[in-house]
Amino acid sequence: MKLINDLFEVVSTTQHDDSYQCQVRFNPEHRIYKAHFPGNPITPGVCLMQMGEELLEQKYGKLLQLTVVKTIRFKKIVGPNDTPTYTFTKEVLDQDTLTVDIIVSDEEDEAVKMSLQYKVLDEA
């Protein structure tokens, strides 16, 4: 199940020399927030990871499959009313493998830091 244009939408994208950034906005009425957690909704970590994958798929026009989670650190809760920025750094595309570091942050702090590796599949 794709989360893009359902749980979240892309507000803006920016390409820098050493990074790629996407700001996103959540759908606070999404059914995920009714279950995780009622009365105190937060965005599940697995959704934050999936969102990163979908943003990369959009950038590269390729389907990706997560193969390795090198590191992941959750530092701050990401809520349904937040508009976090995904910053992709250290992107290395080698044959059929994409390795990337991802930082999910708000205006003040980093919320999540991930170092992930994907297998590059067919065209999206």
Per-residue model confidence as pLDDT tens digits over 46-103: 999 999 999 999 999 999 999 999 999 999 999 999 999 999 999 999 989 999 999 9
User: Model pTM greater than 0.85?
Assistant: yes
DSSP H or E run through 103: strand 97-105
For the CA atoms of 51, 60, 23, 4, the dihedral, rounded to the nearest 10 degrees, stands at -40
% of the chain at pLDDT higher than 90? 94
